[in-house]
Structure formats: C-alpha cells, structure tokens
Amino acid sequence: MGEDTGSRVRVRPAPDLNQEDGSYGLVGEAIAVMAQHDDGQCQRWYRVPFPESGWQGWVHGDHVQIEHGSDR
C-alpha cells in the first residue's frame, strides 16, 4: 500500500527498521507473501518478491495489503 502507484517501497534484507535498505519494490505491484515475522513489538513484516524490480526481501506490514481468497 502506498500513495503513488509506481513509487518505491523499501525492501530490507531482514525484518528490522534498523537494517539498511537492501532494495526496493514498486507501489501497486501484485506480490505473494513468502513469509511473515512478528517482532514482539506490534511490528509485522512480510518477505515478498517484487516482480518488476526483481528484488526480494522484507517489507514493513504498513506497506502491504493482504487479500484473502479468490473469486475465480
């Protein structure tokens, strides 16, 4: 989730705000959650791949919108 489709989202090498940026993903890309981490301080992180940028890593839960199920 982000304000401007196509803008960058920080992707970190580990689920921690103190980690330096590892790469980026683009707002609006459809992603699949590979793993989830709750740090015990009400911070949720998701490990995701970003197809367009080619990067993969951890994104803070504030930047991910989860959709469950399928209408297919």
| pLDDT at 1 > cutoff 70 | no
Q: What pLDDT, in 10s, does the model give residues 56-72? A: 999 999 888 888 765 54
Q: What pLDDT, in 10s, does the model give residues 7-38? A: 888 899 999 888 877 788 888 888 999 999 99
Polymer length in residues for the chain: 72
What predicted TM-score, i.e. pTM, was given to this entire model? 0.80
Instruction: Specify the amino acid at residue 4.
Output: D
What is the rounded radius of gyration, in angstroms, for the C-alpha atoms of the chain?
12
d(CA 15, CA 35): 11
